[in-house]
Amino acid sequence: MSEKQKLIAIIEDDDVLRRGLRVVFTKHKFEVTTFSDGKTVFENFLSKMPDVILCDYKLPKKNGIEILKEVRKSSQTTPFFLMTGYYQDELALQAKNEGANDIFEKPLNMEKLVEACSNIA
């Protein structure tokens, strides 16, 4: 009997990285849904909240912290990981204070990212 696939939502505006993350997480037995901006995410979350969220910080329409705040209004427990190419201690502190589980600096270490998402989801 196989265990249920975990649903991961990946929010990333870079097409190449978004597709790459889809491939990596699919290989690790996740069901993957992807979004290229912060606006279309919530239209889809209304029907089903994912098991884990992986979100870029700099996005069109809403940034990752704004998305995190919106997610936390609906779910305090959904694991949320922020990715950024613009890492600063202040951003990491803000993300943690808003309820992010962790923040990953780009270029991403895929092994650590998958491990974090797998262990918490």
pLDDT at res. 45: 72
Q: Please write the tens of the pLDDT for every residue from 43-70.
A: 777 567 899 999 999 999 899 999 999 9
Note whether residue 98 is domain-resident.
Answer: yes
* Structure tokens given for 106: 């780009």
Nearest by Cα to 56 from 28, 31, 90, 91: 91
Note whether residue 13 is domain-resident.
Answer: yes
Domain span at residue 64? 6-120
Query: Which residue shows structure tokens 């895929």?
Result: 110
Quote the number of domains for the chain.
Answer: 1
Q: Is 72 left (phi over 0), alpha (psi -120 to 50) or beta?
A: alpha
CB atoms within 10 A of CB 92: 16
pLDDT at res. 1: 44
- Pairing mode of beta strands 30-35, 6-11: parallel
Note whether residue 66 is domain-resident.
Answer: yes
Rounded CA-CA distance 22/70 in Å is 23
SS3 35: strand
Q: What is the CATH number of the domain that holds 26?
A: 3.40.50.2300
Note whether residue 1 is domain-resident.
Answer: no
Note whether residue 113 is domain-resident.
Answer: yes
* pLDDT, mean over the chain: 92
